[in-house]
Amino acid sequence: MCDVRQTNRNASQPLIRLETGVACEKIHRTNVRREAGKGLPLGLVIVAGFLAAADASAVDEQTLPAVTVKANAEQQDGLRATKTRVGKVVQDPHDVPQAITTITRSLIEEQEANSLREALRNVSGLSFNAAEGGRSGDNMMLRGFYTFGDIYLDGIRDTAQYNRELFNLEQVDVLRGAAAMLFGRGQAGGVINQVSKTPMLYGINKAGVGVGTDGYFEAKADFNQRLGESAAIRINMMSRDEDSVRSNPVTGPTPEVHRQGFAPSVAFGLGTAHEVTFSHLWVQTNDRMDYGVPFNAAALKPESKYGDSKAYWGVSGNFDESETNISTLNYLFRIAPDTQWRTAVRAANYKRSYWAVAPQGGAPTANSLASQAKTREFDTDNFVVQSDFNTAFTVFGMKNELVTGVEYLKEGSKRWGLTNLGTATKPLYKSGHYSGTPNTYDGDTYSAYVQDALEFVPDWKLTVGVRRDEMRSDYKTVAGTAVTSFSGNFGENSYRTGLSWQPSAAQHYYLGWSDSFSPTADLYQLSGSQYPAERSKVTELGAKFLLLDGDLAFRTAVYHAVKDWERNTDLESTSSILTKKRESNGLELELAGRITDKWEVFSGISFINSEILEVAPVGGNKNFIGQEARNTPKQTFNIWTTYQLPMGFKIGGGAEFKSKRYGGAPTGTAAFNPNYVPSYTRWDAMVAYEQPKYSVKLNVQNLFDKLYYDALYDNGGFTVPGQARRVILSTEYKF
C-alpha cells in the first residue's frame, strides 16, 4: 500500500491511496533528479485526472480524506525495462554502472519466442554454440567468451545442461562483463539471469493457443489469484510441439520438439514487512535433437549438396529426454524503507538422457554406426542457501548504499554413457541403460561478499566490492579400466569497482573494472588438473541516457577483456587448454523504449575484435597466436520495432544480423585454416489485433526463408541451420 499526498497553495487536492500489492515507486522522470528512472506507478493517470479536475479557484491548502483505488490491471514494462535485480538490489538498469541488456516480457510475447535461445537472439554480441558431447543444452558466447557457467535463475546458479523455456519468466537480464563479485565464479562475457514470474495481489489471468507451420502447436496459461489481504497464488503452464522442414532424405525422420512445463507459486505477506514465497518449476522435454550439418572439407564451409538446410543427418532412434525440478523458498524482510534482508533456499534436480548422431561428413544415411553416437545420461542435484542484506545510510555527510551477503552451494552430478542394445548397423539406445561406471562430481562452495556505493560528492559515486569463494570439489572420471581422480581446493577473491557520475536523472557516465575466475573441475569437468583457475579482467567505459522524458533509454559502452588459462574443449577432455591467453575489445550501442505513444523499438549493435595472445605450453598450436577467437562475430545487430495502429491493430518487425564466424582449427603444428559459417540477416514480422479481453496475432519468423547457420560447434566439425520460415497464428484470452 502506498500514500501519495498532493498539496498546493492555490488548490486543494485529495489524498490518493494506490493499493497495488507492490512496493511504491517514485514517479515520472521529467522533473525529478535522484529518483529518475524508477518504474511508473499504476494509477498515475487517475492521479492526473484528479489534478486536472480540481477547481483552480480552490481556497488555501488543506488535506482531504483518503481515497482508496484498488488496481485490477497488470503492470508490465514495454520494450524498455525499468527494474532489475542483477546488482543484488532492485534498481533501474539506468543506475547500474555496468552494461545491461534486458529482454522484457513484452518483447518475448510480441516475437512469439518460447525458449531462452530464441529470446537471446535480441542480445547483440551474443552467438550460439552447437552441442557435442558434454555441453548439450543452452550454450552461448557473449563478447566472445563462454557463458555455459554463467546462467542463473533469480540470482541463483542454474548451470545444469538443459534447454530452458520462457513460459514462467518475467524477463531475462544480461549483465555484461565479469560478474564474479556479485554472482560467484564465472567467465568474462557476462551473466544471463532469468527472472521468474511471482504471485501478485492484482489479478492477471491469461490463456492462449498458437498453431503454425511444420507441426507447431503451443498452449499456455498464466493464472493469478489473490487469496486475502496479502496472499496470492500463481500458476503458469505450457505444452508445445514442433516439427521441422528438415528431414533425413533416406528414411524421413525430422528433428522434433515436445515440451511441457508447470510452475506453481504462492506468496504470503505481499506488501508487508515479511514476505514469503514458495515456488516450483517442472519442465519435461522429449525431443529428437538436431546436430546440424557437417562442413565441406575442401570449401571449409557448411555442406550444401544434400538440399542445403533441408537435409537432416539424424535417424529415427535419436532422442533427448529431460526432466527438471526446481523448488525455491524465498523470504524478504523489509526492515525499513531503505533496508532489506532477503534469504533464498533452493533444491534442484536435473535429469537428462540422450542419444544423437553428429554429422560425420558424406551423406545422411538410413542407419548410423554405433561409434558415431553421442550418448549421455546426467543426474544432477544442487542445493543452495543464499542470504543478502542491503541498507542505505549517511556517514560524514556522504551517502552509502551497502550490500552484503553469504552463500552456500552444494553440487552433485553423475554422468553415464549409454549402452547399445542393438547392433553396430542398427543401434538402439534407451534411457537408464548405462555403459559402465559413472563419472562423478561433488562440490561445496562457501561464499561471502560486501559492496558499498559511496556518494562522496553530489552526483559522484564510487562502488567497491569484494567477494571470497572457497570451493571444495572431488571429480572422478572412468574410461574403461582407467580411473582419473581429482580433488581441488580453491580459494579465490573477486573484485568490482566503478566510478559513476550522474549529473542529472537522464545521464549516467561510468568507468568500471571487474574480474572473475573459473577453477579446474568447475561445471563437473576436470579440464587438466595441472592448470590454475581461469582468470578474467574486464575494464568498461560507458554512458547511459534517458530520452523523451525517460521513455527511451540509450546506452553505449567500450570494453577491454583479458582471459588467462582458458579451457576450450568438451567436458570429457582431461587436458584441454588450447589458448592460454586471449583478449576481446568491443563497442556496444543499444536503444530501448518508446519513441512516441504508439511507436516502440528495441535495438543493439556490437563490434568485437578478439585475438588469441598466447597458447598452452603443451599441446597448443602456435599458429593460433594473433588469430580471431572461435564463434565470435565481429559485428552483430538486432532490431525489433512495433507501431500501434487505430482500432486495436499493431504491426511489428525486426532483423538479426551476424557477421562471419570461425570454428576451431587443428592442434599440433597445422596452419590456422578453420571452417567458418557465413554472415546472415534474418527478418521477422508481426501483425496483431488487441482488445482488452483478447488478442489475435500472426508472426512470420524468418520472413524471407533465409538459409543461415545459427550455432557452431567448438572445434568446427559441424553447424546447425537456423529456423526456416515459420508462420504462427496465436490467440490469447484475458479474464
pLDDT by residue (tens digit) across 96-143? 999 999 999 999 999 999 999 999 999 999 999 887 655 677 889 999
pLDDT of 568: 64
Q: Could you report the per-residue pLDDT of 609-623, keeping only the tens digit for each?
A: 999 999 877 777 888
pLDDT of 597: 95
User: 21: domain range?
Assistant: 1-71
pLDDT of 666: 59
Of the residues 71, 98, 123, the one at which a domain ends: 71
pLDDT of 59: 36
A 10 A CB-CB count for 518 gives 26
Q: Could you report the per-residue pLDDT of 489-537, keeping only the tens digit for each?
A: 889 999 999 999 999 999 999 999 999 988 876 766 665 556 778 899 9
Checking if the pLDDT of 10 tops 70, the result is no
Q: Could you report the per-residue pLDDT of 660-689, keeping only the tens digit for each?
A: 998 865 556 778 888 899 999 999 999 999
Average pLDDT over residues 623-645: 94
Checking if the pLDDT of 279 tops 80, the result is yes
* Same domain for 56 and 203: no
* Same domain for 424 and 286: yes
Domain count, the chain: 2
* Angstrom distance (rounded) from CA 519 to CA 149: 11
Classify residue 703: in a domain, yes or no.
yes
Average pLDDT over residues 359-364: 73
Checking if the pLDDT of 86 tops 70, the result is yes
pLDDT of 530: 60
Grid coordinates belonging to 424: 553396430
Phi-psi region of 595 (alpha: psi -120 to 50; beta: other; left: phi over 0): alpha
Q: Could you report the per-residue pLDDT of 308-334, keeping only the tens digit for each?
A: 568 888 888 889 999 999 999 999 999
Q: Please say whether the beta carbons of 332 and 353 come within 8 A.
A: no
Classify residue 77: in a domain, yes or no.
no
Q: Please say whether the beta carbons of 341 and 403 come within 8 A.
A: no
pLDDT band (50, 70, 90) for residue 3: very low
pLDDT band (50, 70, 90) for residue 7: very low
pLDDT band (50, 70, 90) for residue 55: very low
pLDDT of 307: 58
Average pLDDT over residues 263-285: 97
The DSSP symbol for 648 reads G
CA nearest 355: which of 443, 450, 287?
A: 287
* Angstrom distance (rounded) from CA 122 to CA 101: 9
Checking if the pLDDT of 54 tops 60, the result is no
Q: Could you report the per-residue pLDDT of 377-417, keeping only the tens digit for each?
A: 999 999 999 999 999 999 999 999 999 999 999 999 998 88
* Same domain for 577 and 430: yes
**In a 10 Å sphere around its CB, with 0-12 CB exposed, 13-18 middle and 19+ buried, how is residue 550 labelled?**
buried
Q: Please say whether the beta carbons of 325 and 282 come within 8 A.
A: yes
Classify residue 325: in a domain, yes or no.
no
Classify residue 318: in a domain, yes or no.
no
Average pLDDT over residues 262-268: 98
A 10 A CB-CB count for 185 gives 25
Q: Report strand pairing: 13-19 vs 398-416.
A: unpaired
pLDDT of 61: 39
Lowest mean pLDDT among 361-375, 540-554, 653-667: 361-375
Alpha-carbon dihedral sign for residues 477, 720, 140, 677:
positive
pLDDT of 87: 87
Portion of the chain with pLDDT greater than 90, in percent: 59
CA nearest 524: which of 157, 183, 177?
A: 157
* Residue 46: its H or E element: helix 44-53
pLDDT of 369: 56
The mean predicted confidence, pLDDT, of the chain is 85
Q: Report strand pairing: 661-662 vs 694-701.
A: unpaired
Q: Could you report the per-residue pLDDT of 470-482, keeping only the tens digit for each?
A: 999 888 877 767 7
* Angstrom distance (rounded) from CA 498 to CA 184: 18
Classify residue 146: in a domain, yes or no.
no
Of the residues 16, 44, 71, the one at which a domain ends: 71
- Count CA atoms within 13 Å of residue 173 on its CB side: 28
A 10 A CB-CB count for 62 gives 11
Report the chain's terminal Cα–Cα distance, integer Å.
Answer: 24
Classify residue 160: in a domain, yes or no.
no
Grid coordinates belonging to 77: 514494462
* Angstrom distance (rounded) from CA 96 to CA 401: 13
More confident residue, 282 or 5: 282
Helical ranges in 59-184 per DSSP H: 105-111, 116-119, 180-183
Give 424-438 as a DSSP string.
Answer: SSS----TT-B-SSP
Classify residue 95: in a domain, yes or no.
no
pLDDT of 75: 54
Lowest mean pLDDT among 117-131, 639-653, 686-700: 117-131
Of the residues 40, 71, 102, the one at which a domain ends: 71
More confident residue, 3 or 107: 107
CA nearest 282: which of 320, 252, 327?
A: 327
* Residue 98: its H or E element: none
Specify the CATH number for the domain of residue 653: 2.40.170.20
pLDDT of 732: 97
Long-range contacts of 49-58 (CB under 8 A, 24+ apart): 50/13, 50/14, 50/16, 51/6, 51/13, 54/11, 54/12, 54/13, 55/11, 56/10, 56/11, 58/10, 58/11, 58/12
Classify residue 337: in a domain, yes or no.
yes
Grid coordinates belonging to 100: 545491461
Grid coordinates belonging to 495: 573484485
pLDDT of 308: 59
* Same domain for 362 and 221: yes
* Same domain for 200 and 56: no
